[in-house]
Chain A
Amino acid sequence: MSNKVQVAVFVNGKKVQKKVEPRLLLTDFIREECNLTGTHLGCEHGVCGACTILVDNEPVRSCLMFAVQADGCDIQTVESLNSVDGPLNVLQQSFSDNHALQCGFCTPGFLMTLTHFLIDNENPTENEIREAISGNLCRCTGYANIIKAVQQAAQILQKEKSNSSVVSAQ
């Protein structure tokens, strides 16, 4: 019996159209149908946050969505943060500079949660950062270096923003 359903989504700006089983989780759709393996599956029941992606610009757990539910949605995964072989973006570089990862399994989820967080929070306090990442588990770092990385990224992004506003004012 085939009960496959047509799904059309934009993944990192590219339109993807597939016929999938309704039970296919969005994470597996991204990993297996789109061949984007940066999104990781940890607990598979919405606790660890490793599978966090942006759906219509909001962080969600992709293991708690069926691909069919994302029909018509705009999806961004960790692969959208920089080009293949290109330089790391500010947040990724800050993670690298501050040893904000060891095994790296949880990192894609943190990066997507924080990408959204830093848009609305230009100058976050440590507590705000801690609350922002409370839905993502990391078993290596103890979070301290992740918080440092976010603080560094926020500073750099703010500086970049004020520089660009100076340029545009000239």
Chain B
Amino acid sequence: MKPAVFSYLRPTNLQEALMFLEEYGEDAKILSGGQSLIPTMNMRLSAPAYLIDISRISDLNYIKLDGDFLAVGALTKHKDIENSDLVKEACPLLSEAIRWVGHAQIRNRGTVGGSIAHGDPSAELPCVLTALRGEIVIANVDGSEEVLVPEEFFLTYMLTSLQPDQMVKEVRFPIIPKESGSAFLELARRHGDFGLAEVAAVVDIDDEGHLLNVKIAVGGVNPTPTALEQVEEYLIGKKLTDEVLRQVSDLTQESVDPESDLHGTAEYRRELAGTLTVRALKIAVERARGGNNNVQ
């Protein structure tokens, strides 16, 4: 099918984009890479009257260190994250996850801000951001900014707290210390397809392998990406013994409520979330033990 008629606006700076949003807010959609929006328009699941194409606002395309964060401009493309040595260095979890975002053709166009604003619970970047307790910087039309954490921002399936006159300006991923270990795992029918379940984990361990600090989130198995707080608390001070891992799997499965679709049943996805969580923790601990959190 073909998209419905719309008017096309192409602001050249953030202020102009926000002015358009103020004027057309309810009837407008922001277009950046378009890799999630255009399919919905082609299928006529959405038919905005105005598209505000922000892709030419060059000062929203950056990856930089900012205090304890790796700050990524909303218009940064997935492929730029994939090719960035700074990301590998400061947030290897993000480097590992980005390769699961769609196929190369999608990563060449899709943007970080777009992926976050779309709010797909099975998307990789929201899962990573949730695990790391990152931040989303939102621009308001009056020029002010708001900073939200993932649990405030992701409300439910494909719905965020973003208002019609707001846009995502920056996404802030906490820097992962060198001595930590991290891992991102996903299972999809084919690499690049929508994930059935995915897990992002970061751990710190002591010399004997006891967990000092654990951050872990699952995606694709709840209406929003979910931090597994129960699992995180349970693991503090423990080693990853078989008994502990069994308990982790059980706690994970209790924390998720997946839906069935043609790719997998709810029951299968729940077990998968448990299995992937266990595997991700093992890999993250191994990487922390090796003293270098190298992602292949």
A10 interface residue per 8 A CB criterion? no
B42 touches A25 (CB 8 A): yes
Residues of A within 8 A of B41 (CB): 23
Instruction: Report the minimum CB–CB distance from B66 to chain A (whole Å).
Output: 28
A131 touches B191 (CB 8 A): yes
CA distance A68 to B190 in the complex (A): 32
Instruction: Report the minimum CB–CB distance from A4 to chain B (whole Å).
Output: 9
A3 touches B8 (CB 8 A): yes
Q: What secondary structure prevails in chain B residues at the interface with A?
A: loop
Contact with A along B159-203 (1 / 0, CB 8 A): 000000000000000000000000000000011100000000000
A66 touches B1 (CB 8 A): no
The count of chain B contact residues (Cβ–Cβ below 8 Å) is 31
**In the complex, chain B residues 1-57 whose Cβ is within 8 Å of any chain A Cβ:** 1-8, 10, 31, 34-35, 38-39, 41-43, 51, 53, 55
Residues of A within 8 A of B6 (CB): 22-23
Residues of A within 8 A of B5 (CB): 3, 21, 23
B105 interface residue per 8 A CB criterion? yes
Q: What secondary structure prevails in chain A residues at the interface with B?
A: mixed
- Indicate which residue in A22, A45, A61, A113 contacts B51 across the interface (CB closer than 8 Å): A22
Residues of B within 8 A of A58 (CB): 79, 108
B103 touches A134 (CB 8 A): yes
B211 interface residue per 8 A CB criterion? no
Q: Which chain A residue lies CB-closest to B32?
A: A69
- Indicate which residue in A22, A66, A134 contacts B34 across the interface (CB closer than 8 Å): A66
